[in-house]
Chain A
Amino acid sequence: MAPIARLLLLALLSTALTISSGSGDGYTINGRVKIPQGLGTKGFALPGKTSNVKVILNGGQIVTYLRPDGYFSFQNIPAGTHLIEVAAIGYFFSPVRVDVSARNPGKVQAALTENRRGLSELVLEPLRDEQYYEIREPFSIMSVVKSPMGLMVGFMLVVVFLMPKLVENMDPEEMRRAQEEMRNQGVPSLASLLPGGGRN
């Protein structure tokens, strides 16, 4: 247990001093990735295991991984402005701009590039979780009705149940005339259906 506590202490000390000057020619960037519990657990196939999270410096110059407590560090980094990205399946992280200044080492200057929010310490949290799959709409009557087949059935129903009503509401005299016309003509031809065609 003791060594783990020592490690924790070490890590805690190092976040207070996010950028420390290293023993050699470069600096060390220490930071932490924090994935809130509860986020991204619903309907998600692969739980965001911290062992699969990669932290990437300057588009692939250095790739590092997270310790069990979420801390990471880049060592031997020259002074300048750097970009840190976090690749984690299921989460959207904003890249972070980190300034490592040669003049005043230890000063933290980090900002999310997506929304230009400054960070007082290098704790990276996902902006949102990523849902890679569409969610199936639960079965609803409306979706069936809206489908082409549903529309067909609906039309049929209208014809079956509303047309007789329409016929009933017709003037009986007009009805008789129409029936007579039908009898006279026999099978209605296409010409009679065309506007003006049925007039003669």
Chain B
Amino acid sequence: MAIRSFLILFILFFFSSLNPILSLYEDQVGLVDWHQQYLGKVKQAVFHTHKTGRKRVVVSTEENVVALLDLRQGEIFWRHVLGSNDVIDGIDIALGKYVITLSSGGSILRAWNLPDGQMVWESSLRGPKHSKSLLLVPTNLKIEKDNIVIIFSNGRLNAVSCIDGEVLWEKDFEGESLEVQQVIQPPGSNLIYVVGFASSSLFEMYQINALNGELLKHESAAFSGGFLGEVSPVFSETVVALDSTGLILLTVSFQNGISFQQTPISNLVKDSFGPAKIIPSSVTGIFAIKMNAVTIVIRVTDENKLEVVEKTNHETSISDALPVSEGQQAFALVQRAGPEIHLRVKLAHNWDDNLLKESVKMDQHRGLVHKIYINNYIRTDKSYGFRALIVMEDHSLLLLQQGEIVWSREDGLASIIDVTTSELPVERDGVSVAKVEHNLFEWLKGHMLKLKGTLMLASPQDIAAIQSMRLKNSEKSKMTRDHNGFRKLLIVLTRAGKLFALHTGDGHIVWSYLLQSLQKSKVCQHPIGLNLYKWQVPHHHAMDENPSVLVIGKCGPSSDAPGALSFVDTYTGKELSSLSLVHSVAQVIPLPYTDSTEQRLHLLIDADKHAHLYPKTPEAISIFERELSNIYWYSVEDDNGIIKGHALRGKCTGEVADEVCFDTRELWSIVFPSESEKIIATVTRKLNEVVHTQAKVIADQEVMYKYISRNLLFVATVALKGSGEIGSVTPEESWLVAYLIDTVTGRILHRVTHHGSQGPVHAVFSENWVVYHYFNLKAHRYEMSVIEIYDQSRADNKDVWKLVLGKHNLTSPISLYSRPDVITKSQSYFFTHSVKTIAVTSTTKGITSKQLLIGTIGDQVLALDKRFLDPRRTVNPTQAEKEEGIIPLTDSLPIIPQSYVTHALRVEGLRGIITVPAKLESTTLVFAHGVDLFFTQLAPSRTYDSLTDDFNYALLLITIVALVAAISLTWTLSERKELQENWR
């Protein structure tokens, strides 16, 4: 074993000294990596189909994406991911060629060229106060031949030219408490109505000339009952609102003075269920209200009479109005009923007839229909056909046409909360496996083609054939475990509460499951998914069990909201069981113990500092009680600037009588001075990280011992003033302090202050080192620092005689309570880019050298060798240090374009990078997620333990054949020669 690892080390050193750069040839793209593009949950969709040519749809999403999609296949033509705080308020199409987006709370208006997504203009809108943002693109309203866009935002009404984004006129609505609800433009007129509430009981109406912003009329009327929530425009001069109790509907007409007409909801429906909510719709004469789970669609007649046309217990979505011929409007209603969804398209003035009625089979795991957008087309027989774009509860986007799903996009994958991995089933007899290699001839033919490729003799057709052959490699998407551990399942939890299993080979979805525990229900209005843990990893004595994951969620954003657990089998994708907890979930600690069925013990800490053990079995409790005194954890309260250490005390006392509940005690606490230090980052080692050796042999045959402890915590604090954005503080007022804290004893092992620096801090902790990225205000550049921590208490073990005589302390027990004798080394370097996230590669045995994976602001992932961040780097390394692999010190870290693991791709909206070891020691699997997903395999020291995919077996065969031929040839030649010699 030792020899083998020595050999590996040797080979590793040999290869790493050869070429430190990881690189990729262009034709290798897609061999081991895949990239998927998503959008996020669609917030708004606008069709662009009225011209002949390509049918397209513009969408804006909750991930701040604006994109143009092909209506035929759902492909992305172009897409822009706006900044993280640039939330899109509204989109529309103007002039038939510009996409208009209003974002950042109504303060940024942009126009994008529809065909190619190029930004045409951008204007910034400001106003006196914060308000609702409304975007209105009137169809035929022109000021001096200029089409305009009407925007109400921040308490100001603006008319902006479509062509260059210039503000043509503006009008402030500064009334103290005025809350504008709607901006209505009656079709075909030059008037704009601005309606809203003031001081909660006043209805205000402003009539404005759209051509110059002149105020034509201002009326207000008081309604003693007050108003609640939104208003829904039903006619161009009539809106519907609710009174403050939510029990009475008000029809407000403001054509000739403001008149209110009250209709108690109990008059409309016999059994009313408490306060209602208006669902705004743009359909003339129709609106809907919702009371608890009941949706009621109400029609407003010409005399402002209300009548209920539908009352249903199903969740109903109503589309916006779609103008069809001769001033008629069509709209769609969609409901889910069991395995089907029912879609109806009606004309606004004719409720009783359906233009279209369809039922579409829908996967149960897509949940309810959240939104619907409709568009019409003219069939060959001149009648209207409708297509509907629907957004489901799992955030997927589907196009329905003629009762069928034309295409679907899994856009829930744009908002991943947590990722874990699972092994695939072991290949056994009976497990069906795709045909591997068809026959020897084809195999040889393939390799001959490859050989041609390497010899550069291949024709373009051959190259295409080679490329498709490599990409199609059936091996990589097989559904069984492979020898090298490259094939795994990535289990991801999305914000919609859906669990997906992605195959690492090609990224296809193996299964998906909509977790009922994370869906909106009567008990839980706002469920939130939190984390994903490996619950059961069958290993030795539970091989027949399927692996499973634990999904932890909670009900609502508050810290004392009750938690929810669910256990999902990763082979079948079925929920095994689910639990609604009575306690909250503040922290989850996966413990390093498993029970006899390989279920991992998890400790859930609630907001009252009680610990709850899962699984709730007597066996787990007995295992846990044995280890009770060895369990420590810490908690960080960033608001108060306190870090606390905790341990367990014993079974819960008091009113909570529960076998698996334990009381905790506080061991230590570190309080940072609130006026000078604010915690901005904490990072600790990954629990499952493997370290090969504690010893590090340095030049001159010296040995250093890494201080390896699972209980080290890196904390970064900044001065209160420096916690804002870059540029808001001067170097003198800002500093950054980095700490290394032992989380069992609360001892601060190391503390370093960087004067004139500020956050944001991104850090990664591995083995005995931590690397962190921050901003240096003095140089006005980003910096990265490394701290390595070494154990000095073993430094005297270098003496061989001591080892021989047994006078070493290698066998003495290590306790965190004894004062550790450590030294730290650190160094800082400049780094060019802003960073979104940092990760580090991890391998099975921890032998392979490490690379940092840096997610840059440009949404690329850069692999940087850890050797560049070695505190022992000097300007002029000695010969011995050079042999050890120490790189001469430079002031900044190099950015080598070939070492971008995402090569020429972007992982838009990058949020996280996850590394998973493969079975092969040299290789690590990397998964980067954001709005896009990207997966690849990395070999930080090259694949020294296996042949690469490019290895040419044909060349090897040919060489052997040639050698054999040469041997036999020379043999016969020499025989003949000998014979002739003998004859002579």
Question: Which A residues form the contact surface with B (CB < 8 A)?
Answer: 3, 6-7, 23-24, 43-46, 49-51, 54, 56, 58-68, 73, 75-76, 78, 80-83, 85, 87-90, 92, 94-95, 97, 100, 113-114, 130-136, 138-139, 149, 152-153, 156, 160
Contacts and interface: CB of A to CB of B under 8 A. Distances in A.
B904 A132 contact: yes
Given A132-B897, A149-B955, A56 B857 contact: yes
Contact of B163 (A3, A24, A44): A3
Interface in B712-743: 725-729
Contacts of B124: 75-76
A103 B454 CA distance: 65
B152 to A, nearest CB: 18
Contact of A7 (B164, B457, B780): B164
13 contacts: A7-B121, A23-B126, A51-B113, A62-B86, A64-B122, A76-B124, A82-B726, A87-B856, A89-B906, A97-B780, A131-B898, A133-B25, A139-B457
Interface of B: 23-27, 29, 78, 80, 82-86, 107, 110, 113, 116-122, 124, 126, 163-164, 454-457, 725-729, 760, 775, 777, 779-782, 832-834, 836, 856-860, 892, 895, 897-898, 900, 903-904, 906, 955-956, 959, 962-963, 966, 970
Given A45-B904, A89-B906, A63 B86 contact: yes
B832 A95 contact: yes
A113 B955 contact: no
Nearest to A46: B904
A134 B834 contact: no
A62 B760 CA distance: 15
Taking each of B121, B726, B833, which has the highest tally of chain A beta carbons within 10 Å of its own beta carbon?
A: B726
B726 A58 contact: yes
A160 B962 CA distance: 13
Given A62-B86, A67-B119, 13 more contacts: A49-B116, A51-B119, A63-B83, A67-B122, A81-B780, A95-B832, A113-B832, A133-B903, A133-B904, A135-B25, A139-B454, A139-B457, A149-B955
A23 B760 CA distance: 30
A73 B832 CA distance: 22
A144 to B, nearest CB: 8
A50 B970 CA distance: 65
Contacts of B23: 133-134
Contact of B122 (A73, A85, A131): A73
Contact of B118 (A50, A113, A149): A50
B834 A85 contact: yes
Given A134-B25, A139-B455, A152-B963, A65 B119 contact: yes
Contacts of B955: 149
Nearest to A81: B727
A61 B119 contact: no
A131 B760 contact: no
Contacts of B110: 65
Contacts of A139: 454-457
Given A132-B903, A156-B966, A82 B727 contact: yes
Contacts of B775: 59, 83
A80 B966 contact: no
A132 B86 contact: no
A63 B82 contact: yes
A79 to B, nearest CB: 9
Contacts of A83: 726-727, 775, 780, 834
Contacts of B904: 44-46, 89-90, 132-133
A153 B834 contact: no
B959 A78 contact: no
Top 5 closest pairs, chain A to chain B, by CB? A87-B858, A63-B83, A130-B897, A59-B834, A139-B456
B857 A133 contact: no
A153 B956 CA distance: 11
A45 B26 contact: yes
Contacts of B120: 67-68
Contacts of B857: 56, 59-60, 85, 87
Contacts of B113: 51, 68
Contacts of A54: 858
A3 B164 contact: yes
Contacts of A90: 904
B86 A133 contact: no
B164 A60 contact: no
Contact of B833 (A46, A75, A95, A149): A95
Nearest to B83: A63
Contacts of A132: 24, 897-898, 900, 903-904
B760 A59 contact: yes
Nearest to B858: A87
Taking each of B120, B760, B777, which has the highest tally of chain A beta carbons within 10 Å of its own beta carbon?
A: B120
Nearest to B104: A62
A51 B906 contact: no
A131 B903 CA distance: 9
A131 B21 CA distance: 13
Contact of A60 (B83, B781, B962): B83
A54 B966 CA distance: 62
A51 B84 contact: no
Contacts of B859: 87
Contact of A51 (B25, B78, B900): B78
B833 A85 contact: yes
Contacts of A138: 456
Nearest to B967: A156
Contact of A113 (B116, B119, B728, B779): B779
Nearest to A88: B858
A92 B897 contact: yes
A51 B111 CA distance: 12
A36 B198 CA distance: 56
Nearest to A24: B126
Contacts of B860: 89
A151 B78 CA distance: 51
B959 A113 contact: no
Given A65-B119, A113-B781, A56 B834 contact: yes
A46 B906 CA distance: 11
A151 B110 CA distance: 63
Contacts of A87: 856-859
A133 B28 CA distance: 9
Contacts of A131: 897-898
B20 to A, nearest CB: 14
A131 B897 CA distance: 6
A78 B728 contact: yes
Taking each of A43, A50, A78, A95, which has the highest tally of chain B beta carbons within 10 Å of its own beta carbon?
A: A95
A46 B119 CA distance: 19
B166 to A, nearest CB: 9
Contacts of B906: 89
A76 B122 CA distance: 13
Contacts of B25: 133-136
Given A82-B726, A89-B906, A114 B832 contact: yes
Contacts of B78: 51
A160 B110 CA distance: 76
Contacts of B760: 59
A130 B897 CA distance: 5
A7 B955 CA distance: 62
A165 to B, nearest CB: 14
Nearest to A130: B897
Taking each of A85, A133, A156, which has the highest tally of chain B beta carbons within 10 Å of its own beta carbon?
A: A133
B118 A133 contact: no
A7 B897 CA distance: 36
B727 A80 contact: yes
Contact of A153 (B84, B118, B729, B962): B962
Nearest to A74: B124
A90 B858 CA distance: 11
Contact of B895 (A58, A66, A92, A149): A92
A83 B777 CA distance: 10
A52 to B, nearest CB: 8
A78 B727 contact: yes
A147 to B, nearest CB: 8
B119 A58 contact: no
